[in-house]
A and B are shown apart, each in its own frame.
Chain A
Amino acid sequence: MSTWEAILEDYLEGAGSRAAAESLRFRIALPAEARQEVETVLRLADRLADATQSVRPPAGAAQRLGDRLLLAGLPDVRPNWVQEGSELVAPDGASRPGADEDAVNAAIEGASGLTTPLPTIEPGGPARDLTAFNEIAAAVRRESSAPDAAIPPGAIDRLRTKLAEAQERGEGGASSIVARRILAQLRGEATRPPAAVRPPDVLAAGEEPEDGEGPPKG
C-alpha cells in the first residue's frame, strides 16, 4: 500500500487526522487517479458524517425508555453471566461476538500470510455461502501451505455447519461467481487497486442485507 493510501485508510479508520488526508491534495507528484481517490474519500466521509449527525432523537427519548424499563419487570430467563469486579462477563466457553467472522478472517489472513487486504474479501457475508467458503479454505491451504492447526480449532466445522443451514434455508447464491472472484483476489489476480477504497467485485450487487447476529426476528 502506498503512502497516500495508508494516510487515507488511517483517516477513514479514525487513526489519522483530517489535516493529513487533506494535505494529499497538495502533493504535486500524486497521479490523477490517486488525486481523484483522495477527493472521493474526503467527500464520502463528509457526506456520511453530515447525514449520520443530522439525525436527532426526540428530546427526552432516552429518559422515556429508562422509565419504561423501570416498569418492565425481570427478564424471562436470567443470563448466565459472571461478575468480575464491576464488569459482567460471559462464562467460560460462551461464544464471543464476531468469533465466526474472526475465524474466517484468521483463516484467510492470519494463517496464510496472503497480502490481499482482508477488507476486500467478502467470504459470503458472515459465512453464508458454502461453496465460496470451502474454496477459500482450500485456497488458503493450497497457497500458504499453512497447517490446519493454524486456523482456530473447530472454526471451519462451525462455519460449515452454519453455511449448510443457510443453504438449506435457501440463502445461498451466486456461489460460483463469488468463489471465483474471491479466489482471484487470493491469488493476486485482481487488478483494481487501491483495495481499501475501491469497491471489490465480490461485494456482489443486489446482495440483500442480512442480519448476521442478534435475537430472532418477530
Chain B
Amino acid sequence: MSPEQDLPDLAEWFEKKVVENYALFFSIANQISGNSHEAEEIVQEAVLKTWRNLGALEDPSALVGWVASAARNAALDARRKRRPEPAESEMLDSTTVDFAPGEPDDADERRCILEEIGKLPVNQAAVVTLRFMEGLDLNQIAGRLGLTGNNVRVRLHRGLEKLRSSRRLRIAAGLSEESD
C-alpha cells in the first residue's frame, strides 16, 4: 500500500469497525462512568486517540480490543478527576445512566452488576459484555476481538467466575451465598 492509496481506505475501514462496535465501547465506558453523556465523550476521545496512534497497532485485528482498552482507561481517568474513589456503599447510589424502563430496584441492581463487570480486566469485561449484551457465541466474539476461540472461552469463564465471587454482585443478582 502506498501512503497516497491506502489512507482513504484506512479511514473508511476504521470508521466501519468503530461504528460496528460502538455499543461495546460505550458499554465499557459506561460500566465505569455510570453517566451516558460522559461515556459518549469518553468513547469519542478514546477513538480519536486510537486513530491518531494507529501506527502503533501491529495487528489490525486487535483494533476493537485496543479501543475498548483506551475507553476503559479514559473512563477510569475521568472518574479519578471527577471525585475520589467512592466507598463501597456509595457506589450503589450512582444511577445517572439511562436505563431501559423498569422498577427502581431494577436500576440499582443493574448499576451494581455493570460496575462489577467494569471491575474485571478489560479483556474479560469485553468478552462478557459481547456475550450477554449482544448474545454472541465464542467464535463470533473471537472474530470481533481478533482472538482465538479458546482464548475467548478462557476469558469468559474467568470473568464469570470473578463475577460470581463478588459478594456485591451475588446480592444484586439475587444469587445464593457461596463460600469465598
Contacts and interface: CB of A to CB of B under 8 A. Distances in A.
A105 B150 contact: yes
A137 interface: no
B23 A47 contact: no
A215 B160 contact: no
Interface in B73-127: 73, 77, 97-100, 102, 106, 109-110, 113-114, 117, 119-123, 125
A137 B53 CA distance: 36
A211 B72 contact: yes
B176 A122 contact: no
A40 B169 CA distance: 12
Contacts of A77: 53-56
What is the interface of chain B mostly: helix, strand, loop, or mixed? helix
Interface stretch (A52-60, A149-157, A169-177): A52-60
Interface stretch (A23-31, A183-191, A196-204): A196-204
Contact of A48 (B1, B57, B99, B128): B128
Contact of A211 (B1, B117, B122): B122
A176 B125 CA distance: 27
A200 B66 CA distance: 28
Nearest to B36: A58
Contacts of B175: 40, 43-44
Contacts, number: 267
A208 B34 CA distance: 19
A203 to B, nearest CB: 5
Interface string A3-23: 000000000111100000000
A52 B147 contact: no
B32 to A, nearest CB: 10
A interface, size bucket = 35 or more
Given A57-B22, A66-B19, A49 B132 contact: yes
Given A96-B146, A203-B161, A213-B69, A75 B59 contact: no
Contacts of B153: 13, 118-119
Nearest to B61: A97
B156 A72 contact: no
Contacts of A217: 73, 77
Contacts of B47: 65, 69
Given A65-B19, A94-B58, A215-B66, A122 B11 contact: no
Interface of B: 1, 3, 6-7, 9-11, 13-15, 18-19, 22-23, 26-27, 30, 36-37, 39-40, 43-44, 47-62, 65-70, 72-73, 77, 97-100, 102, 106, 109-110, 113-114, 117, 119-123, 125, 128-129, 131-133, 135-138, 140, 145-148, 150-151, 153-154, 156-158, 160-165, 172-176, 178, 180
List 5 A-B pairs, minimum CB-CB distance, nearest first.
Answer: A214-B69, A77-B55, A14-B137, A119-B157, A52-B133
Interface of A: 12-15, 36, 39-40, 43-45, 47-58, 61-62, 64-66, 68-69, 72, 74-83, 88-90, 94-98, 101-102, 105, 117-120, 122, 125-126, 196-200, 203, 205, 209-215, 217-218
25 contacts: A15-B137, A40-B164, A40-B176, A45-B132, A51-B114, A51-B117, A55-B30, A55-B98, A58-B36, A65-B18, A69-B11, A69-B14, A72-B48, A88-B60, A96-B62, A105-B151, A119-B157, A199-B178, A203-B161, A205-B180, A209-B119, A209-B120, A214-B67, A214-B122, A215-B69
